[in-house]
Chains A and B, each alone.
Chain A
Amino acid sequence: MLSVQHVSKSFGNLKALDDINFTIPNGHILGLIGQNGAGKSTTFHSILNFLQYDGKITWQDKPITESVFDQIGYLPEERSLMPKLTVEQQIVYLARLKNKSAKEIRPQIDTWLRKFAVKGTKKDKIKSLSKGNQQKVQLICTLIHNPKLIILDEPFSGLDPVNSDLLKQAIIDARDNGASIIFSSHDMENVEEVCDSLVMLRNGQIVLDGTVGDVRDTFGKTRLFVTTDWTADKLSELPHVVSVTQREKNRYLLDLDDESAGKDIFDELTHGQYIEEFSQQPPTLNEIFRMKAGDRNE
C-alpha cells in the first residue's frame, strides 16, 4: 500500500502541495486529476523522492528509498528515451536498472511489443520509431519488470483510442496482478473507466477524494435529461431548474439545484402520460472537474 500523509511542499513562496493525504491499497488504481499546475507532478516527484517534502510517504510501510526503487514503474509526463539505442537495448538497460537480468527480460520483449502493437522490431533504433511507438516502448519499459507500484504521469496523452484501450487493459492487468497504480490524466472518461478511486488537486490541495461513484454521488443527481414537446422557456419555469440546455430537437438537459425536485418535475411533465425520456443523473466527472476547476476563479 502506498501511503501519502500530510505531505506539503513549497517552492519559495509557492505552496505546491498543501497537506496532501491519500492511500492506494495493493491491487487498486487511483486517478490523480487537476488542472495544469495543480500539483500532480510535484506529488509524483515527492513519491519518487526527487524532492524533499514535509510529511510522510511510505510504500508497504517503508520509506521510499533505493531499496524499493526496483518495485516502482514510472512513466514521466514527457516521453524520453535514448535515441541511439535499439528497442531491445533500451528495454534491457532500464530493466537491468530495476535489478532484472537481461536473460530474464529479453524473451519477454516480443510479447510486450505485440501486446502494445508496436510497429517495428526490437532491433530497430528508438530514433527510427514514430512518436506513438516510442511512447509505447516507454510504457513497456515502465511495466516489463512487473512493478508493484506504478506511477503514470499522463499516460494517455498522445494515444489514439485503440492504443488507449491497449493501455487501459495493461493498467487493469497490472492492478489485477496486485499492483498499486496512480496515474494523472486530463481525460475524465479514462479516469472514470479505469480508476477505483480518484483524488482531485487544486492549487496543491485535495478538493475531491473517493471512489468515482462516491464523488459523483456527492454532487447529487442534479442533471436531468428529458425528451418532451415542452419548450425550453416553459421548462425553465419549473421549480428548482437552474438552467436548460437544448441537446437535440425536443431533448433537453436541465440543471437542478435540488435533486429531490426530480419527482415533482416528473409529475408535472408526464401527468401520468408516456414520456420518451426522463433520466436523472449525477454530473459526469468532466462536469465535476469543470465545476471544481471553475471554483478557482470564484
Chain B
Amino acid sequence: MNKLWIVTFETFLRQVKSWGFVALIIGPFIIFGISIGAGYMSASGASHSDDIAVFGQSELKQAFVKQNKDDIDTSIKSVKSAKKKIKDNKLSGYLILETNNNQVSATYHGSNSMSNSLKNKLTIFTSTVQQQLNYSTAQLSATQAKSLQQQPKFKEVITKKTGTDNLAKMISFWIMVILVYTILVTYTSITAQEIASEKGTKIMEVIFSSTTATKYFIGKVLGVMMVIVTQILIYVIGGWGMFSFAQHSSLTKTALAQNKDLISAVLHNLLSINLVYLLLGVVIYTILAALCGALVAKSEDASKAAQPVTMLSMLAFFVTFPFQNNMDALIVKILSYVPFFSSYFMPMRVINGDASPIEMAISLLILIATIFLMAYYIGKIYQGLMLQTDDSSFWKRLKRGIAYNR
C-alpha cells in the first residue's frame, strides 16, 4: 500500500508541477479575468451612461435613492447639469419625484425610455408611497389598513416543459459534453504520454525490482486521477468564487438576477450524479490510455500513444450531437449503459430527467465493474507490455506483451 501511494504521489507531483498543468488550471481564470476587466474598462469608459439622476421632494428622493443606489448617479445636483450630461451621453435621464395634494407624481426626462427594470422599481416605490398617503388621509384603523393591504394569491403549477427548462437542459447538455470531452482528451493524452515515455526504458526494470507492476500501474492511474480531482476542485472552488463575485459585481449582478432560475437549473444539472459520471468516465478512459501508452513500440512514440483513446472519445462526443434535441431516443438509453459512452449519454438522460435511480445504479455498476476488470487485467499484463521493446506491429506487441511473463 505504501509503495502504491509513493507511485501515486510521485505521478501526481510530477504532473501538477509541470507548466502544462499550471496553464491548464489558470487559463480559464485568466480568460474570465480578462473578460471582467474588459467589461469593467468598457463600463468605466461609458461613465455610467445608463444611470439616471433624481430630483424633487427631499424625503421621496432619499427613499428612492436608498433603494436603487446602483442605478442612480447621486453626484448630479441640478437639472441643468443633468441636462448637460444627457446631452454628452453620460446620463440616461433624470427623474423628478413630487407629492402635490396627496398625489405622488414621478416625471422622467430622458433621451430614451426608462429601462423596464427601473420602471418596475419606480412603479412599486410610488405605489407604496401613494398607498401610505391614502391610508393616512382616510384615517383608517390598523385593522382596516391591514385588510386593505390584502393581496390576491398567484401560484404557478407547471406540468408542461417551459422555455427556461428546455434552455437549461440545452445549456447543461453542452456544458456537460464539452466538459467531459475536454477533460477526457486532456487527461488521456497526459496518461498515455506519461506511460509511453517510460516504455522500454530500463528504469522500469529498476522499478519492477522494487514493486509489483500491478501496484505501479494502479499507482500511475491514481496519480493522474488525483490530478484530475485537483483540477475539478480548483474549478469548482474557483467557479464558486467567481459566481459569488459576479453576484455582487455591478456589471453582472442584474444579469444574474434576471437569469436566476436558468442558472440554478443549469447548476443543479451539473452538480449532481453527472459529476460521478464525469469522474468515472475519466477513470475508464485513463486506464485505456495507460494501456495504449504501454503498447507503443518505444518511448519516442509517446505523442502517438493517446490517438486510439482520443478517437474513441471523439466518437462518443460526436454521437451525442444528433440527440441534443432528442434525448428521449432509444439509442441514448442503450448507450447510457455502455462503458466509454455512458459518461456522455447517462448525464444526457439525467439532464433530461428521464433516468430513474435504478437505471442510474445499473449503469454505474456496469461502469465500475468494467473499470475494475480492466484495471485488474491490464495491471496483470502491464509488466510484459512495459518490458518488451521489439519494434513490431501493434497486435504483435500486444500478443507478445501478454505472453511475456508466461
Contact A97 B14 (CB under 8 A): no
Contact A76 B406 (CB under 8 A): no
Q: Interface size class for chain B?
A: 20 to 34
> A80 at the A/B interface (Cβ < 8 Å)?
yes
Residues of chain A lying within 8 A (CB to CB) of residue B205? 45, 48, 50, 74, 76
> A78 at the A/B interface (Cβ < 8 Å)?
yes
Contact B201 A97 (CB under 8 A): no
Query: From residue B395, how far is it (CB to closest CB) to chain A in Å?
Result: 17
Instruction: Give complex CA distance A76, B211 in Å.
Output: 16
Contact B2 A99 (CB under 8 A): yes
Write 13 A-B pairs (CB below 8 A) sorted by A numbering.
A45-B205, A50-B205, A74-B206, A76-B202, A79-B202, A80-B202, A80-B203, A93-B6, A94-B206, A96-B6, A97-B7, A99-B2, A142-B206
Q: Encode A88-108 as 1/0 by CB contact (under 8 A) with B.
A: 000001101111000000000
Instruction: Give complex CA distance A98, B383 in Å.
Output: 18
Instruction: Give complex CA distance A93, B203 in Å.
Output: 12
Contact for A84 among B14, B201, B206, CB less than 8 A: B14
> B3 at the A/B interface (Cβ < 8 Å)?
yes
A-B contact count (CB 8 A): 57
> B261 at the A/B interface (Cβ < 8 Å)?
no
Contact for B209 among A74, A82, A84, A93, CB less than 8 A: A74
Contact B404 A51 (CB under 8 A): yes
Which of B202, B203, B209 has the largest number of chain A CB atoms within 10 A? Answer: B209
Residues of chain A lying within 8 A (CB to CB) of residue B7? 97
In the A-B complex, list the 9 residue pairs whose CB atoms are closest, starting with the nearest.
A76-B202, A97-B210, A80-B202, A74-B209, A80-B203, A80-B201, A76-B205, A78-B202, A96-B6
> A81 at the A/B interface (Cβ < 8 Å)?
yes
Q: Encode A12-44 as 1/0 by CB contact (under 8 A) with B.
A: 000000000000000000000000000000000
> A244 at the A/B interface (Cβ < 8 Å)?
no
Contact A66 B211 (CB under 8 A): yes
> A69 at the A/B interface (Cβ < 8 Å)?
yes
> A57 at the A/B interface (Cβ < 8 Å)?
no
Residues of chain B lying within 8 A (CB to CB) of residue A80? 201-203, 206
Residues of chain B lying within 8 A (CB to CB) of residue A141? 206
Contact A69 B203 (CB under 8 A): no
Query: From residue A92, how far is it (CB to closest CB) to chain B in Å?
Result: 10
Contact A94 B210 (CB under 8 A): yes
> A77 at the A/B interface (Cβ < 8 Å)?
yes
